[in-house]
Structure 1
Amino acid sequence: MTKIASASVVSGDTNYVHQVRAGHFDLVTDEPKALGGQGQGPAPFDYYLAALSACTAITLRMYAERKGWSLGEFRAELALTRDEEGRLHIHRVLHSDQALSDAQWERLLEVVANTPVTKALREGAEITSERGR
């Protein structure tokens, strides 16, 4: 198998602040105070949406550049909800300060439905665990 990314987490004594190493970047994750955390960093589902929003913006920017389209200032707003059956739903709203045609928006919406992270979330991934030494 080909490694795509790596991350590790170190847990300290403070509920629920954790130090995450993603690639060569250091991040902090926590839970909101209302859930017993310290509110010192994004919660795990915040990073989940952040990963998808980043992939959305990068993929669409790459596509637009190849087509010679200017996206100008591009913004994607994402929301994660859970329905009555407990299923998760993500909704994206895309914005550009450029005057794109309806045909361009239609194509961008087709492209965004197939970004690498979108596909990974939609298709799922096999997750395995083992005890370390």
Structure 2
Amino acid sequence: MAHPEPGTVVVTASGGGTYTQQVSTAGHTLLADEPVSVGGADAGPNPYELLLASLGSCTAITLRMYADRKGIPLTGATVRLRHDRVHAEDCEKCETEHGMLSRITREIELDGDLDDDQRAKLMLIADKCPVHRTLSSEIVIETRETGR
């Protein structure tokens, strides 16, 4: 199968397991799957892990770009993420008041000889990464069947 054009991601069953999917981009191929505990073959990250990886990598890249541009001595950043569902009533910063909602917890470890002001600015910049902004805004997903 040829790789899709830049900006397009194609996901197809890989045939390697019940839920194993091949994810193809313009220049890369990887597998996504579900864990064995839910019937998958665990051949790759599950969809939520891929979502968290997108946010985490975008965060780290944004921090690196900002630090380089501003001459901040950031030597590295480690981003740890977790997804869970919480009752809306338990969420202080949420607009939704009832039912369950998704929560992503992101912890960022900044390395380097950084002062308090640099650390504070980097933490503010983390929330400005493009994936964070996408996930925090209204998203419209348009679905249509093709190939018929």
TM-score with structure 1 setting the length: 0.91
Matching of residues 2-13 of structure 1 within 5 Å: 5-13=7-15
Task: Report whether the alignment pairs 1:70 with 2:73.
Answer: yes
Which deviates more from structure 2 when the two are superposed, residues 47-56 or residues 94-103?
Answer: 94-103
Deviates more, 1:120-129 or 1:90-99: 90-99
Residue matched to 2:101: 87
Percent pairwise identity? 33
Structure 1 runs, 4 residues or longer, greater than 2 Å off = none
The gaps in structure 2 that reach 5 residues or longer are 88-98
* AA at the equivalent of 1:79: R
The Cα RMSD (Å) is 1.6
* Matched positions, count: 131
Q: How does 1:37-52 map to 2 (within 5 A)?
A: 37-52=40-55
* Residue 96 of structure 1: aligned partner: 110
Structure 2 counterpart SS, 1:91: strand
Q: TM (normalized to structure 2)? A: 0.82
Question: Are the structure 2 counterparts of residues 6 and 124 from structure 1 closer, same or farther at C-alpha, using a change threshold of 3 Å?
Answer: farther
Q: Distance in 2 between matches of 1:108 and 1:12?
A: 40
Which residues of structure 1 form unaligned runs of 5+? none
